[in-house]
Structure 1
Amino acid sequence: MSLLIYLLVCCKITWFYILGLALNMINKRKAKQTFIDLFSGCGGLSLGLMRAGWEGLFAIEKTESAFNTLRHNLVAGNKHRYAWPQWLPQKNMEVGELIANYGAQLSALRGTVDLIAGGPPCQGFSHAGKRNPDDPRNKLAEQYIQVVEIVQPKYLLLENVRGFNTKFSKEGSEDSVPYSKVVKERLEALGYGVAFRIIKSSEWGVPQHRPRFILIAKFGVASSDFEPFAELDQFRKAFLKSKGLSADRAVTARDALFDLEVAGKKLVANTDSDQKGFFEIDFEEHSQPSSYLKLLREGAGGLAPDSIRLPRHSKEVIDRFKLILDRCPRGINVPRDLKLEFSIKKQAITPLCPNSPSATVTTLPDDIIHYSEPRILTVRENARLQSFPDWFSFQGAYTTGSKHRKFSCPRYTQVGNAVPPLLAEALGGLIKRAI
């Protein structure tokens, strides 16, 4: 009899143990924070958030090529994947289309999403452009706010250019208020405490200066009581240490690119483009990678990255680039007098300094010249400066003609528009810490 009682007690304990494990797994699943990415581009912000432990629900991007890159890596990929609801087609669309056609489904998500992230197109705010207050792309931040109002997530993350926090004109005119103030007031009216700061990407392990406007908001608190950036320096050091990077020395352009230099390499025909007559280096894993290169090569399995097609410059362009490398200061825009001398009409063209972070990577391939070779950078070299890992594959054409540029998003544009994944991962970790 005592043996029977003993067995019954053991079975009861065993079932309680199994039940406890199951409940623990369910709670862990529920505890995983979820996000939606608006104006996602090719997925730099999403990739960083996923690597920080967030679960992506879905992403919205209007251009087909950029969405194809995002889908290839983060929907059909084998490293990180969105959950992706059945009611939403896995295709490119505008945020306005999401609101118009899937309003009921968005409303059903109300209060269940932890974060809405996004980087509304920024050309109208950028100091590198014309800074036009009437640029229709400026109003896309309003669509971001519309989705926020419908879904009411717990947190918000908004990334933009530094000019987002700069007045368009002098005091007294209608556009004298920075757009960041307009967005802050709108979000506060929806019940969010809002904080923002200009952050240099180079301070977070990205080999590129790239100052960005970063806004973080939390539902149900006052702005005066919300300070997610309070321990930013302490968090930065811990984050960089976790990545094997130094908090005291910025990652340089050479740290990121030296294994992709052409000098001493065998050239082979490029194979990931429809255009013939282009070459790329015969890639080999470097025997002494920098700490940054080790980080970006993780997950590549020793394979060559894609998008390493070399440019096909004319002799005239090569000779001009040689002059720039010989005579111009490194790391800054070519001075005006030398632009005139070299017959350069471009607003910005910068020869890289090998021993410091790069200038901001843009959507124009010829804005930056390699630090030791008279050529522009490859798509992959730009992606390295943006901190994309080498396993991340870019889809679509390399470039498009000027008349098609407004309607397409080739690889160079995808990379230039992206949020650096390493910065995004740090921001994702910062918000998780706040939670």
Structure 2
Amino acid sequence: MIDLFAGCGGMTSGFVAAGFTPVLAVEHNLHAAATYAANFGEDHVRWADIATVTDIPRADVIIGGPPCQGFSNLGARDVEDPRNKLWKEYLRFVRAARPRAFVIENVDRFLASAEFALLQAETAPGGLLADYTLTPGVLLAADFGVPQRRKRAFVIGSRVGPIPLPAAAGEWPGVRTVLSGLPETPARTTLPSSSVEFFGQRVPGRFKSADLHLGRNPTALSLERYRAIPPGGGRFDLPDHLLPRCWREKKTGTTDVMGRMRWDAPSLTIRTEFYKPEKGQYLHPEWHRPITHLEAARLQTFPDTFEWCGSKIEIARQIGNAVPPHLATALATHLSPHL
């Protein structure tokens, strides 16, 4: 398998668990590439702009999610955003590696984008993907053992006959399955002072899971707000005297902001700023604090054996941007018989 726009390796983690062997990974962010290398080896990783990578081996499968900020509901949805053109680099790799199948992951808006329409057009006679059949759809991570209501678009391309998307695998797990048993009060607020060398560069790391159980130093006002939020609640549960002016004057809007999880339900989508309760439903289901980096990684189903490189902010980005490994394993296991 080849992993493009590999990030820290969430998708690779799932495919390796299902028996696949990575032969190439491409990632332009140094800290994410270092995390990938720490877990899967440095020899097959290219820390580079994907447009500059020309040594492309053959592979059975190509996986990856071209950056999606232009498609995302959270972004400007700019069709001319150069990040939206990176899927064309993905196609270059498909043409060179000739995989039996490929998997593209993106935000669900991708399926309604101009780029996806152009991708479909390339499967017509004479197109770059004329011998591939596309199967697009949306998968919900909670349907595949991930304690998170994370909804993403997936496109399976195949030249060995149509491959459907996997079917939902079971009941939704609650956050209790991964959050229980961790200390209420994290022992530290900063990562240990250590560094490691990858690609000839020194980066912070390697950090173990226990190093990621990081607390914050909230103000007295923030603590008062946290205490006022019930399980499953959010900013609309705050009394007027605890509301910041912008929320007091805006009675409508996102309901998950300053939200608290429920023990026996999946979390909402873990994004890159999960350590900020004002950004989403990121309060611990019981304790009066936001979830830690370790708890976010567990909600994404990263194993505790996974190692991390980068600053707190960089690691948070890696966690929030990743494909949950358990979802990737379900995809890989589903693909294998077709290959």
TM-score normalised by the chain length of structure 2? 0.83
CA offsets 1:30-65 (integer angstroms, 9 cap, x no match): xxxxx1000000000011111111110010010011
Mapped pair 1:342 → 2:282: no
Which 4+ stretches in 1 moved above 6 angstroms?
336-341
> Residue 92 and residue 308 in structure 1: after superposition, are their counterparts in 2 closer, same or farther (change >3 A)?
same
Q: Answer whether contact 2:62 2:94 (CA < 8 A) is retained.
A: yes
Mapped pair 1:151 → 2:87: no
Q: Answer whether contact 1:202 1:210 (CA < 8 A) is retained.
A: yes
> Residue 91 and residue 36 in structure 1: after superposition, are their counterparts in 2 closer, same or farther (change >3 A)?
closer
Give the aligned partner of residue 415 of structure 1: 319
Give the aligned partner of residue 232 of structure 2: 330
Q: Answer whether contact 1:122 1:138 (CA < 8 A) is retained.
A: yes
Give the aligned partner of residue 193 of structure 1: 133
Pairing 1:93-172 to 2, within 5 Å after superposition: 93-98=48-53, 102=54, 105-106=55-56, 109=57, 112-167=58-113
Larger helix fraction of residues? 1
Q: Which structure 2 segments of 5+ residues have no match?
A: 195-207, 248-252
Please state whether the residue corresponding to 1:197 is helix, strand or coil: strand
Mapped pair 1:307 → 2:217: no
Distance 1:338 1:419 in 2: 37
CA offsets 1:87-106 (integer angstroms, 9 cap, x no match): xxx452121121xxx2xx32
Distance 2:155 2:235 in 1: 32
1:428 maps to a residue whose letter is: A
Mapped pair 1:395 → 2:328: no
Give the aligned partner of residue 25 of structure 2: 59
2:122 maps to a residue whose letter is: R
CA offsets 1:363-407 (integer angstroms, 9 cap, x no match): 1131322122222111111001100000101111102xxxxxxxx
Q: Answer whether contact 2:192 2:211 (CA < 8 A) is retained.
A: no
Q: Answer whether contact 2:270 2:296 (CA < 8 A) is retained.
A: yes
> Identical aligned pairs, as a percentage?
28
Structure of greater relative contact order (alpha carbons < 8 Å, 6+ residues apart): 2
Question: Which of the two has higher C-alpha Rg?
Answer: 1
2:132 maps to a residue whose letter is: Y
Please state whether the residue corresponding to 1:351 is helix, strand or coil: coil
TM-score normalised by the chain length of structure 1? 0.65
2:192 maps to a residue whose letter is: S
Give the aligned partner of residue 287 of structure 2: 373
Q: Answer whether contact 2:25 2:46 (CA < 8 A) is retained.
A: no
Distance apart, 1:433 and its partner CA: 1.9
Distance apart, 1:338 and its partner CA: 7.5
Provide the aligned length of Structure 1 versus Structure 2.
309
Q: Which structure 1 segments of 5+ residues have no match?
A: 1-34, 77-82, 85-89, 168-176, 238-246, 276-302, 400-409
Distance apart, 1:129 and its partner CA: 3.2
Pairing 1:208-219 to 2, within 5 Å after superposition: 208-219=148-159
1:201 maps to a residue whose letter is: A
Q: Answer whether contact 2:160 2:338 (CA < 8 A) is retained.
A: no
Give the aligned partner of residue 198 of structure 2: none
1:388 maps to a residue whose letter is: F
Pairing 1:249-268 to 2, within 5 Å after superposition: 249-262=171-184, 268=187
Please state whether the residue corresponding to 2:23 is helix, strand or coil: strand
Please state whether the residue corresponding to 1:305 is helix, strand or coil: helix
